[in-house]
Amino acid sequence: MFKFITAAILALACATGFAATDVNKASQAELESVKGIGPSMATRILDARQTAPFTNWGDLHSRVKGVGDGNARKFSADGLTVNGSAYAASDAPAPKAKAKSKTKSEKGSSRKKAEAQPAA
């Protein structure tokens, strides 16, 4: 009986040690307790959260500078959640499309066209 009670207390203590920290409910101190989140990152998270709660990891990623794919993985592994959800790579926002720049030959051809036209 004593072993059972001791095991139950130990299990309860371990479970509270690994409790998840939800980004929408955590205080400054709770955010800073997550490995990798310092005072400045916690402040940025709290400032962005004042506008509106985070809906998912992609929302957190897009609204808080410094929360990229790598940091989101680390924070999630250390117990940070968004609305109770751990980070998954599919939660990352889609990369923005880059504007296609002209190639070297295209730049030269537009210059030649401008030179070929007489000045008015």
pLDDT means per 10 residues, the chain with 120 residues, are 61 55 95 95 96 94 93 94 87 57 57 61
**Structural domains of the chain sorted by starting position, each given as residue range(s) with its CATH number in brackets:** 20-88 (1.10.150.320)
Record the pTM.
Answer: 0.62
How big is the chain, counted in residues?
Answer: 120
Dig out the tokens for 14 from the structure: 């371990």
Those residues whose C-beta lies under 8 Å from the C-beta of residue 20, and which sit 6 or more positions away, are 79, 80, 81, 84, 86
DSSP 8-state symbol, 3: H
Supply the pLDDT for residue 96. Answer: 57
Supply the pLDDT for residue 16. Answer: 42
Supply the pLDDT for residue 1. Answer: 74
